[in-house]
Structure 1
């Protein structure tokens, strides 16, 4: 009975611990999302003021000349907000680019939705983002007040809200209790505040239902074709490796064993030499089979995870390579395998073609997405059509609905960035 009670108490403690960890993590993510929202809400507020000035200037005809610039700034800011929302949750699929001519923009539904988003994000979004930055500062200031209140000048305001003075320890502890109240507000409200801040952008900046569906169908059709092409290419590579390498080795083993069997009675020394050659050929065939197996799904991913697998690639790279991996949780096996092959192909290209002295591989997991970045200080000029393997990389990424961007100006440096969903 006592053992059962101890087990129940232990389960309750574990459950309480999990609840505290989830609540704290959600609050931290909420604060981060609110603060990042402020980075677009402040430009939105300035753009809203610019739009108001343009509307006033239009009464005398001058604002009509400013309208295209304002609309371009609005479309760019909306695109930046879509990217921000994609880092903190599901991607916001962008519609077709709206027009920048004033008359066409007034009739375009996408431009009108972006204007509605601008008003809401510049007001409510800015207010929520400001609170997301202010609340942690206030919580830290007030909760730590007993540690430094004696160092403050006399009659200085004690609380972060600008009220009250502290003349004794009970006053200082009362301010600390206010700080605890701020912490409780942060834990309880910031996740909801973050969702409220993001809601206008997710609802108004996404492509409309019809456009969304048609674009999604076209995108899925293209990615499915790319996935099938990549799969067929991979099968051809495996078949060619088995046919040209391993199969020939096994055939030579069979021939050597047959010859040795016929020579055992009349020439034992010659038979022994043939058996030694057969053993060597069998070992080479086994090594080639292991290479093919690793090319299908590297066992190092299952044994050591993505961080260990990428560290192994960096250690074997001919160019000195630095690895910086921050992926706290495991991604789907197919995503990890894709990330592994992308980095392997990129490092191979760097060693063969770039003339680089150093390379860097960075992997980060943020908002349900895996972000990879491979950089080198080589000569640059990487061309996707030049047979460098970039086409195969793009097909692998397309199969997961991921994104690839390549910057490789002549003279370098070369930066390959990949964005993959963690759970595909």
Structure 2
């Protein structure tokens, strides 16, 4: 019996590694697919840079060079967004240099150019291989199902090593497909990790300028936090002045009328008192609404998960909610996430014309990630004074990020990332 214990442990270890390996393949495939898209963009820009460089020999390219560098920066920013969406948090450089003199002394420009050249060549080949392996595997595995439909001699496996003309050769193609898929399952996570490591090495801001930009960013977020605080105070003041205060004044007037009616016309006093009671109840409801808009009590009572479930249950349109937030986050983080979802639900039901909305909230490491997607008509624009601008200020005040995509015709997707500590 003691001799079999190491064998059993090895078998258990293998059984544990297999699910983990299988679970790595799909995220890695998604990573490679996203890298393939940005690699195609990088290849196009790389070719454009070659044209600009050739034109620079006659002087014309020097005029196009600043715009070409801005295009490089835009493609690099696209890759930064992709890396951040997959859970990587880092600080990127600001706006690209405006002229060649600035670009020549900017280390971030050189880092972006190094990334572009590698991503447009080796990165593109790796990403294409990562997508080609599973596609080839699926094709070859399915050969036994359809090879007889085609004329004899026209069906070959992916590498065209033989012609499929019998069941034996068809099943040989199937085995080749299994080999492609096995090779892809082994290679794809490694290729995805290489692509991510290279991006994280070159696309974040140069360490020498990190502190200066970080101070500027913190100053901007501090100003945004103060502005958001002042805006929130003005909103609360308007709500109390225009709503609650007016209703309390009405209560006071009705109570005075009831006191006078009790002396002169006692039969009319009960009706006036009933109106005063109704006005007092409306004032109380208004006051509760203002209090909930500051910090919903349901967050303290039921946590973020319970509060979001309450929002989903009262949503006028169908809401599919998935929350995976173990433990509690800071109160400010939970309140910001709650109001972001509430604003998205309001926009989806009132303005977007959506019939369903999908809400996903996850905690990944030290960050809280929120994604809200509706199937409405799109076209949302936070610059038109909507509540989205207030949500952005709340998010940026906590040093978070908010990204919204809302093309005309939909869908609208709101993504929020908030640091919530360990």
- TM-score, structure 2 as length reference: 0.68
1:359 aligned residue: 353
1:370 aligned residue: 371
Query: d(CA) in 2 for partners of 1:199 and 1:91?
Result: 13
How has the CA–CA distance of structure 1 residues 329 and 26 changed in structure 2, closer, same or farther, with 3 Å as cutoff?
farther
Which deviations, in whole Å up to 9, do the C-alpha atoms of 1:193-236 show, x marking residues without a partner?
A: 22212332222122112333322233233324433553565467
- TM-score, structure 1 as length reference: 0.68
How has the CA–CA distance of structure 1 residues 279 and 371 changed in structure 2, closer, same or farther, with 3 Å as cutoff?
closer
| Counterpart mapping for 1:68-83 below 5 A | 68-83=66-81
Query: d(CA) in 2 for partners of 1:51 and 1:211?
Result: 26
| Counterpart mapping for 1:39-78 below 5 A | 39-55=37-53, 58=56, 63-64=61-62, 67-78=65-76
1:141 positional shift: 1.0
How has the CA–CA distance of structure 1 residues 324 and 79 changed in structure 2, closer, same or farther, with 3 Å as cutoff?
farther
Higher relative contact order (CA 8 A, sep 6+): 1
How has the CA–CA distance of structure 1 residues 71 and 239 changed in structure 2, closer, same or farther, with 3 Å as cutoff?
closer
1:336 aligns with 2:332: no
How has the CA–CA distance of structure 1 residues 50 and 186 changed in structure 2, closer, same or farther, with 3 Å as cutoff?
same
Q: Is the partner of 1:359 in helix, strand or coil?
A: coil
1:394 positional shift: 3.6
Query: d(CA) in 2 for partners of 1:278 and 1:18?
Result: 71
**Structure 1, gaps ≥5 residues long:** 1-11, 316-322, 352-357
How has the CA–CA distance of structure 1 residues 396 and 58 changed in structure 2, closer, same or farther, with 3 Å as cutoff?
closer
| Counterpart mapping for 1:379-418 below 5 A | 383-384=384-385, 392-400=390-398, 401-403=400-402, 418=414
Q: Is the partner of 2:92 in helix, strand or coil?
A: coil
Query: d(CA) in 2 for partners of 1:344 and 1:397?
Result: 17
Query: d(CA) in 1 for partners of 2:193 and 2:117?
Result: 17
Stretch of structure 1 that moved more, 139-148 or 296-305: 296-305
Stretch of structure 1 that moved more, 126-135 or 179-188: 179-188
Query: d(CA) in 1 for partners of 2:139 and 2:409?
Result: 45
1:5 aligned residue: none
Query: d(CA) in 2 for partners of 1:113 and 1:48?
Result: 14
1:305 aligned residue: 308
1:50 positional shift: 4.1
Stretch of structure 1 that moved more, 229-238 or 152-161: 229-238
1:354 aligned residue: none
Stretch of structure 1 that moved more, 359-368 or 29-38: 359-368
1:421 aligns with 2:417: yes
C-alpha RMSD of the superposition:
5.1
Q: Any conservation in 2 of the 1:86–1:92 contact (CA below 8 Å)?
A: yes
Report how many aligned residue pairs link the two structures. 386
| Counterpart mapping for 1:24-423 below 5 A | 24-55=22-53, 58=56, 63-64=61-62, 67-99=65-97, 101-102=99-100, 104-156=102-154, 158-231=156-229, 234=232, 280=278, 283-284=281-282, 286-297=284-295, 299=298, 302-303=305-306, 305=308, 309=311, 312=314, 315=316, 328-330=322-324, 333-343=334-344, 359-360=353-354, 368=369, 370=371, 383-384=384-385, 392-400=390-398, 401-403=400-402, 418-421=414-417
Q: Is the partner of 1:420 in helix, strand or coil?
A: strand
| Counterpart mapping for 1:8-19 below 5 A | none
Which deviations, in whole Å up to 9, do the C-alpha atoms of 1:302-359 show, x marking residues without a partner?
A: 55836x736845x3xxxxxxx68666445673343121343367579x77xxxxxx63
Q: Any conservation in 2 of the 1:139–1:180 contact (CA below 8 Å)?
A: yes
**Structure 2, gaps ≥5 residues long:** 1-11, 326-332
Query: d(CA) in 1 for partners of 2:63 and 2:276?
Result: 83
Q: Any conservation in 1 of the 2:373–2:411 contact (CA below 8 Å)?
A: no
